[in-house]
Amino acid sequence: MNAHESITAAIRAANARGEPALVAYLTAGFPSRERFLEDLRQVAEGADVVEIGVPFSDPMADGVTIQRSSRVALSQGVSLGWILGELERMTPRPRAPLLLMSYLNPLLAFGADRLAETARRAGVGGFIVPDLPFDEGEPMRAAFAARGLALVRMVTPVTQPERLRRICADSQGFVYAVTMTGTTGKHVAVPQEVTQYLDAVRALSPVPVCAGFGIRGREQLERLRGHVDGVVIGSALVETLERGADPAAWLRGLRNAER
Amino acid sequence: MSSSTEHADALAELIAGRIPDARGRFGPFGGRYVPETLIPALDRLEEGVREHLRAPSFQQELAAELSSWVGRPTALTFAGRLSGRWGAKIWLKREDLAHTGAHKINNALGQALLARRLGARRIVAETGAGQHGVASAAACARLGLPCTVYMGAVDMERQAPNVGRMRLLGATVVPVTGGDATLRAAIDEALRDWVSDPLETYYLLGSAVGPHPYPYLVRELQAVIGREARAQIREKTGALPEAVIACVGGGSNSIGMFHAFVPDRDVEIIGVEAGGKGPALGDNAATISHGRPGVLHGTYSLLLQDADGQVQETQSVSAGLDYSGVGPEHAFLAHIGRVRYESAGDQEALDAVRTLCETEGILPALESAHALAGAKRWAERHPGGTVVVCLSGRGDKDMPTLQRTLLKGDQ
Ligand SMILES: Cc1ncc(COP(=O)(O)O)c(C=O)c1O
């Protein structure tokens, strides 16, 4: 199975259990660089897919929580190279597939081909790149495709229908449906427009659809049920780690509430 | 094909008006690296630019405002005493005389007029030196549009006079304490605001940076500087100058000055970046001299960054040049060798402020003083030559910095 197929499979497996998949985000090396692999292991226990955030100096799509986690991680010397090195030496690797979420510039600085090769060796299944819109995919897309790695594409409530169709057709692993116009870390109310938009994305997409941005708790998960194949939990989980709470238990708490 | 032929071809394409291309590329540079959420807004802006920018009704409206409200054309002043001191014939294109005191108004007014035609409900802008913020606030007041300006906390302190001006002009000024608390962080924050309301908010970007179509749009709105200067110098001297010089922060006054002269192959074009305290990474803002290609704020250009692709903080006495990126057209002009970029340090710029005050009775902006420092060096190499310098703005805003530097010890 290709790396990107294993991501799709993990989401479908959660759906087969009758629940939306949990895609859990943490910023690598936050709150502590030393605890990264341990935090990752715990998050992976409670999640179906894990997104590992590569900190960047200018996180323009992120709200205050991920701005803060990125700044702290950078100040502790976390880099893409360090993250990949840690993942490569991690044994055993988590069962949940891993994605890297990174702004484009650190990826460019690493080099597309070298990145794809190093990521594959480190057990990374694919990438989410918030400042890489559909039309600017190369050369990353080709380098990832050559190694079976996913480039997970994003769609938003303002994406026009024809573009939506093309993005869904191109996305691998899943389609990341941004719930709202805005940065990460807010609280989205999930009104009917949002569920209608998610239904429309799902009708078009050959791969699973996961909703993200602003999803923090049980009530929102309930409202999204039936309209998505998975949800991405970001800032709320980062805040959980920051408080020193057990992330696996926190994620399990979300799940139990789903029933 | 040799690279010099490639470069000549690229220059011919630029002169023929085919650059940027349909995807917003200046050779390898430019493009659109933004969250998907902003794509419809950029598409609409691009369509708006295509529909309005060259339309006679828009051009008439803009020309009338530039003349009666901004005070264009700005003068081209022969700097006689300065020429005597530095040894070349120095002409100053007086953008400091434009309304609100800098070239920034050319772009702010043009984009505000465009925003109104596009039905924008509110305007957001970023500012470094505060000049773009003041220009945006003024243009929005003139057109009756609400305006929010993001400004780094460090810049609010060193450009304090401009903060008060923006507020008087009705803008909401939002301090940005994240990141480096200067222009780069202010752009990050303005982009976050725009992402939250991409369809009704208009982002009035203040330099020739950012995703397509901004670098093109800003160039077109600033090109009036070079068009006027070229006609004025020919009228006054009967010839083109041997060189034109401008300072480069994001690159708007410089691209505006250079654009009309790019086809004049005998005219040497020089951009001067902020050399800050010195050449080490983090000590300057000389992006073209010291940067590597990368993506910041939506465009692929040169960038001051570390080996991991993290954007570097910069250092310059001048807030308006204190930026880690540079417009993609400048990266392109450097790449094809049409423009030479050099840098001038903090002390050279401060010395130039003093010299221009003493010799010509003009207090230049610290940004513009970098261009003057470049002119001084050019004059040493070309005694008796003729050079036009873009005096991009006036220096009143810099009084807090000048008190701490040139006036230190005075009562
Ligand atoms: C007077 C003046 N000159 C130059 C600049 C630099 O910007 P740009 O390179 O876009 O002209 C600024 C920016 O604030 C400015 O205020």
Over the stretch A22-72, which tens digit does the pLDDT of each residue have?
999 999 999 999 999 999 999 999 999 999 999 999 999 999 999 999 999
**CA–CA dist B288, B145 (Å, integer):** 36
Please say if the pLDDT value at position B126 is more than 70. Answer: yes
Residues A116-136 pLDDT 10s: 999 999 999 999 999 999 999
Domains of chain B with bracketed CATH? 26-66+104-218 (3.40.50.1100), 71-101+222-404 (3.40.50.1100)
Instruction: Evaluate: CB of B247 within 6 angstroms of ligand 1.
Output: yes
For ligand 1, pick from B149, B159, B247, B391 the residue to mutate: most ligand atoms within 8 Å of CB: B247
Specify the residue with its C-alpha closest to ligand 1, atom 14.
B320
Q: What is the pTM of this model?
A: 0.97
The pLDDT of residue A81 is above 60: yes
- Provide ipTM, 2 decimals: 0.96
CB within 8 Å of B150: residues ≥ 6 apart: B124, B125, B126, B127, B174, B176, B186, B187, B189, B190, B193
Q: From residue B67, give the alpha-carbon distance in Å to each of A3, B105, B112, B230, B235.
A: 62, 12, 16, 18, 20
Q: What CATH number labels A3-258? A: 3.20.20.70
- Mean pLDDT within A227-252: 97
Work out the average pLDDT over A173-184.
Answer: 95
Confidence of residue B409 (pLDDT cuts 50, 70, 90): confident
Query: Are A212 and A231 spatial neighbours (Cβ–Cβ below 8 Å)?
Result: yes
| pLDDT digits 0-9 by tens, B59-113 | 999 999 999 999 999 999 999 999 999 999 999 999 999 999 999 999 999 999 9
Residue B149 to residue B123: CA distance in whole angstroms: 8
DSSP symbols for B199-236 = TTEEE---SS-SSTTHHHHHHHHHTHHHHHHHHHHHHH
The pair phi, psi for residue B272, each rounded to 5°, is: -115, 120
Instruction: Check whether B411 has a pLDDT greater than 70.
Output: no
- What does the pLDDT look like over B127-147, one tens digit per residue? 999 999 999 999 999 999 999
Q: What is the mean pLDDT of residues A170-174?
A: 97
Residue B1 has pLDDT above 60, yes or no: no
Q: Mean pLDDT throughout B234-262? A: 98
Shortest distance, CA A248 to any CA of chain B (angstroms): 30
Question: Residues B196-220: what's their mean pLDDT?
Answer: 97
Instruction: Identify the helix (H) or strand (E) that includes residue A177.
Output: strand A175-178
Q: Which of A52, A29, A73 is nearest to A126 (CA)?
A: A52
Contact at CB, A134 and B309, closer than 8 angstroms:
no
Ligand 1, atom nearest to B394 Cα = 1
- What is the B100 CA–ligand 1 centroid distance (Å)? 13
Cα–chain center distance at B25: 19
Strands B292-296 and B299-303 turn out to be antiparallel
How is residue A67 written in tokens?
């701005």
| Residues of chain A contacting residue B325, judged by C-beta atoms under 8 Å apart | none
pLDDT per position as a tens digit, A134-158: 999 999 999 999 999 999 999 999 9
pLDDT at residue A255 in the model:
86
Q: Which residues of A touch B (CB under 8 A)?
A: 56-61, 63, 67, 71, 74, 79-81, 103-110, 130-136, 153-156, 158-160, 163, 167, 178, 181-183
Please answer yes or no on whether A135 and B37 come within 8 Å at the CB atom. Answer: no
The alpha carbon dihedral of B175, B176, B182, B187 has a sign of negative
> Residue A258 above 50 pLDDT?
no
The percentage of chain A sitting over the pLDDT mark of 70, rounded to a whole number, equals 99
Q: What is the mean pLDDT of residues B215-222?
A: 98
> Is residue A50 a contact partner of residue A94, using CB atoms and an 8 Å limit?
yes
Pairing of strands B386-391, B89-94: parallel
Domain boundaries, chain A: 3-258
Q: Which of A48, A55, A96, A100 is nearest to A75 (CA)?
A: A55
The pLDDT value given to residue A257: 58
Local confidence band at B264 (pLDDT 50, 70, 90 cut-offs): very high
* Average pLDDT over all residues of chain A: 96
Mean pLDDT of chain B: 97
Q: What is the rounded CA–CA span in Å between residue A151 and residue A206?
A: 15
Test mutation, A65, A67, A181, A186, chain B, max B CBs within 10 A:
A181
Q: For B31, which residue in chain A has the nearest alpha carbon?
A: A136
Cβ–Cβ < 8 Å for A28, A151:
no
Inter-chain contacts counted by CB atoms under 8 A, chains A and B: 110
Q: What is the rounded distance in angstroms from the CA atom of residue B28 to the CA atom of residue B302?
A: 11
CA–CA separation, B261 vs B257, rounded Å?
Answer: 8
